[in-house]
Structures are given as structure tokens and as C-alpha cells.
Amino acid sequence: MLLKIILLFMLAMFLVAIVGRVLFPSALPPVLRKRKGAPRCGRCGRYLIGRGGCDCGGRAK
């Protein structure tokens, strides 16, 4: 009997997780989110590598 209760609880938690991911996709951790692409300079359009800014003085879009 206890095993059935545990299995039903786990199934309910699984369903809540699936519904939560469908309704609130932006609430996912950053590791699981889809990437938008490489950052680019807002001024000249070159790809930005590392944390520093672009040589032209622009910032990321």
C-alpha cells in the first residue's frame, strides 16, 4: 500500500513538472535554455569574444 502511495506521489510530481515547463518556459535554469546566438557589437556588428568590449567602443546588442 505504501509503495502505491509513493508511486502516485512521484507520478503527480512528474505531471506538475511537465505542466510547469510547458506553461513557464522562461523559468528554466540558464543551462537548459536555448541560446540566442553569439553576442555582437551594437555599433559595428563584429562578434564579441570574452568579457571586454569591442575595439570600436560599442557594446553587445
pTM (2 decimals)?
A: 0.44
**Residues found in the chain:** 61
Helix then strand count (H, E) for the chain reads: 1, 0
Higher pLDDT, 1 or 31: 1
pLDDT, residue 56, reads 86
Residue 60 banded pLDDT, cuts 50, 70, 90 = low
Tens digit of pLDDT for each residue in 17-52?
A: 999 888 887 776 766 666 677 888 888 888 888 877
Query: What is the C-alpha separation between 19 and 12, in angstroms, rounded?
Result: 11
**Higher-scoring residue by pLDDT: 16, 33:** 16
Q: What is the DSSP string of the chain?
A: -HHHHHHHHHHHHHHHHHHHHHH-GGGS-TTTSPP----BBTTT-PBP-SSS--TTS--B-
Cell of 59: 557594446
